[in-house]
Structure formats: structure tokens, C-alpha cells
């Protein structure tokens, strides 16, 4: 079957459009991965990269400024992450800048976030410099702890449910107290009796105070109370004199030492 001129034009147009789309895709991907711009490299070490992979974005001030060039295990507790960054942001990144691992949204890809420096140093970062890294939170450990807390809460809830069920069924001292009318009446009677006893004690104390005041005013016992008061005053006077004497001796010793 002979190909017509219109078919040839269509094939040519489809080919040109396909090549244009391919070119734009390559340019877009290359631009995103900093393949067509001047770059420099820095690195940092982490204990755990938390799912970060080669090719993930690097962000500074919320803008994509580079990509993760490579990830290599250095030791059993250290992973080196090399970054390729655009030269346009080099003047903004200082030697005390920090790099951390974050996420693009709640469920997005992992990425490296570079925090601005300039607090300890205003020196511009150079090719091959190491940046301080902030290790990501270990989500697995948090989940494990939350699971233990949930298990303990479930156990505690079960124990409380058993205690409440026993109380409702009248088991135990509290259950019998709450469910037995006789025990409640006995307890109420005991409380009333205790209140009556306390009132009696207060009345007796008041009577004793009145009797003591009357005895002090009685002419037969007035001499006894006067002697007792005089002995009390003499004792206080002796204590005062002893304190004054001790103070004078201390002052005298202090003066002699000086």
C-alpha cells in the first residue's frame, strides 16, 4: 500500500511533537536535578537516613536547590549523604548551617532540608565542606513506645472494669459499704456518735477553763498561783540574764581577737 502525502505529513508532525515532548521532559528533569547549572558539593553524616534515597530533592528556605548525589554507609552507626547544590545558593549557606531529613508533606518523598546558618559563623560554605547534621526522629521507637503505652492502658482499663464490677456486685469492703443499707446506717450512727462525743469534749474543756479561772480568783488559792507566776517570772529573768552574759562574753572575745 502506497503512503500518501497526507500520511507522511501526519507521521512527520507526530515525530516532531514526540521529539519536542522528549526534549522538554529531559530539560525539565535535568533542571530539577541540577544537571544544566553550575553546582558544588557538600556532605553530612547521619545515624539513620530514615528512607532517604539518591535523587531526592534538597531544599533551602522551602526552595529546591539541589539533589542527593549519593548515600554510603561509613560505619555501623554512620551514613554519609553527599549533596549537589546550585551555585546560586552558595552565598546563603554558611559553615554552621545544618542539614536534616524531612518529608515532602505528610506522606511525600523524603528530602534533605538545609537550615540557614550565620549564628556561629558568617563564612560561606566551600566545595566539599561537611555540614552539621540533625538526626531524624526514629519513628519505629516512637511506635514501639506508643504500643507499650496502649497495652498498659488496656490492661489498666481491664483492671478498673473488674474493680467496678466487684463493687457493683457488693464484693469487697467498698462494695459492701455502697450496696448494704445496714452498713450505711451503722456508719451514719457512728459518725453521729463521734460528733456528740466531740461536742461533750468541747463542753468539758470550757467548764475546766471556767473552773480554773474561778480557782485563780479564790482567796485560798490566790497565793499558790502568785507563787507559781513569780517562779515563772524568775525563771524567765534568769534566762534573760544568762543570754546577756553570754552575749557580753562573746563580744569581749571578739574584741580581744581583733
Q: Where are the domains of the chain?
A: 1-32, 38-137, 138-179
d(CA 69, CA 41): 9
Angle at 242 between CA 237 and CA 248, to 5 degrees: 125
Residue 178, pLDDT > 90, answer no
In the structure grid, which three cell numbers stand for residue 239, read together? 534566762
In the structure grid, which three cell numbers stand for residue 22, read together? 522528549
In the structure grid, which three cell numbers stand for residue 101, read together? 531529613
* pLDDT at site 46: 92
d(CA 56, CA 69): 8
CB contact at 8 A, 87 and 38: yes
Confidence of residue 71 (pLDDT cuts 50, 70, 90): very high
Confidence of residue 77 (pLDDT cuts 50, 70, 90): confident
- pTM of the entire predicted model: 0.44
Amino acid at each position: 500500500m502506497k503512503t500518501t502525502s497526507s500520511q507522511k505529513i501526519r507521521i512527520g508532525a507526530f515525530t516532531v511533537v514526540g521529539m519536542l515532548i522528549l526534549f522538554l521532559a529531559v530539560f525539565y528533569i535535568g533542571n530539577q536535578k541540577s544537571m544544566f547549572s553550575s553546582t558544588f558539593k557538600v556532605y553530612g553524616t547521619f545515624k539513620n537516613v530514615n528512607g532517604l534515597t539518591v535523587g531526592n530533592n534538597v531544599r533551602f528556605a522551602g526552595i529546591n536547590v539541589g539533589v542527593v548525589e549519593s548515600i554510603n554507609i561509613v560505619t555501623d552507626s554512620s551514613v554519609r549523604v553527599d549533596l549537589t547544590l546550585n551555585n546560586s545558593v552558595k552565598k546563603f549557606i554558611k559553615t554552621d548551617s545544618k542539614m536534616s531529613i524531612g518529608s515532602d508533606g505528610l506522606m511525600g518523598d523524603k528530602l534533605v532540608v538545609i537550615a540557614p546558618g550565620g549564628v556561629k559563623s558568617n563564612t560561606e560554605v566551600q566545595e566539599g565542606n561537611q555540614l552539621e547534621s540533625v538526626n531524624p526522629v526514629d519513628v519505629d521507637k516512637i511506635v514501639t513506645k506508643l504500643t507499650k503505652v496502649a497495652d498498659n492502658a488496656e490492661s489498666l482499663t481491664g483492671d478498673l472494669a473488674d474493680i467496678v464490677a466487684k463493687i457493683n456486685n457488693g464484693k469487697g469492703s467498698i462494695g459492701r459499704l455502697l450496696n448494704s443499707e445496714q452498713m450505711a446506717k451503722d456508719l451514719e450512727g457512728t459518725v453521729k456518735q463521734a460528733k456528740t462525743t466531740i461536742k461533750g469534749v468541747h463542753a468539758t474543756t470550757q467548764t475546766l477553763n471556767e473552773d480554773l479561772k474561778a480557782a485563780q480568783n479564790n482567796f485560798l488559792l490566790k497565793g499558790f498561783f502568785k507563787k507559781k507566776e513569780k517562779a515563772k517570772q524568775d525563771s524567765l529573768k534568769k534566762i534573760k540574764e544568762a543570754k546577756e552574759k553570754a552575749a557580753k562574753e562573746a563580744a569581749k572575745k571578739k574584741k580581744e581577737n581583733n
